[in-house]
Amino acid sequence: MLLIALGVSVAPPDYRHPYGHSKAEYLSSVIEAALIIIAAIYIFYAAIQRLLTPAPLENIGLGVTLAAVAAAINGGLAIHLFRVAKSRDSVALEANAKHLLTDVWTSAGVIVGVGLGALTGWVRLDPLIAVLVAVNIVFTGVGVMRTSISRLLDERLPEDEEANIIAILEAASEVRGYHRLRTRRAGSARFAEVDLFVDSNMSVATAHEVARAIEGEVRGALDDIDITVHIEPFEEGVRDVSRTPKEEFPESG
């Protein structure tokens, strides 16, 4: 599923999808989050069943050994995927890394639960630890789900990236103000649009050059961003005050 999503996400824009296919990553991470939560529910169900009907543990040595090997493999792969996800800004790879990390926690729960159960003879200790592991996995799955859905719904860029854009706008001498800064991400791709106020006597050609210069500076400051600038005439009392996204959406903090 992850490989298919990554393959689709790198496909170039086409007639039906002029903004590209990057959001395929978010669909993959939403499904992955759902699988994480389903796994946690199954662990929780199995643990409750074992609490209600305790049974002696069998093949403890083999079970602990296999769990330790699985934890080492999944942990190493998760660390690698986290690094790649950060460098590529890939939410799908990040979700997959978190999925693998839940397997590490599950294996750790097996080792601790089975080991302590064998040492103490208290068979209910194993399912009790399994319940704790399941709860932790649910939190991980819900976190991945929330992030993925938020980005699927065009979550704006991080504040530091928007601050870079705003700094460029405010430093441009030809720009008399701005508003309606809108940003969003789609996988590793970034999109932004903004309305700029310029002198009403400025020619169309000059205003076009101002817009191109601003777009070029923003692209130089932020990788993989596609920005569109809309020019509006500066008008006292109407279009004369710059408004940042936080000023336009104060209720969102």
CATH number at residue 91: 1.20.1510.10
With residues binned 3-state (H G I as helix, E B as strand, rest as coil), the percentages for the chain, rounded to 5, are 65, 10, 25
Q: Does residue 139 sit in the same domain as residue 227?
A: no
Q: Does residue 24 sit in the same domain as residue 127?
A: yes
Residue 215 pLDDT level (bands cut at 50, 70, 90): very high
Return the pLDDT at 252.
Answer: 54
Return the pLDDT at 157.
Answer: 93
Backbone φ, ψ for residue 201 (5° rounding): -90, 0
Q: Does residue 119 sit in the same domain as residue 186?
A: no
Q: Does residue 140 sit in the same domain as residue 187?
A: no
Per-residue CA distances from 227 to 64, 135, 170, 191 (Å) = 54, 42, 16, 6
Return the pLDDT at 192.
Answer: 96
Among 94, 125, 152, the domain boundary falls at 152
Q: Does residue 82 sit in the same domain as residue 12?
A: yes
Return the pLDDT at 147.
Answer: 87
Q: Does residue 120 sit in the same domain as residue 202?
A: no
Average pLDDT on 28-51 reads 89
C-beta separation of 13 from 20 below 8 A = yes
Distance CA 91, CA 88 (A): 9
Q: Does residue 148 sit in the same domain as residue 178?
A: no
Q: Does residue 147 sit in the same domain as residue 97?
A: yes
Task: Select, from the ranges 2-11, 17-26, 123-132, 225-234, the one with the highest average predicted confidence (pLDDT).
Answer: 225-234
> When comparing pLDDT for 252 and 229, which is higher?
229
CATH number at residue 225: 3.30.70.1350
Q: Does residue 108 sit in the same domain as residue 16?
A: yes
Q: Which domain holds residue 135?
A: 2-152
Give me the number of domains the chain comprises.
2
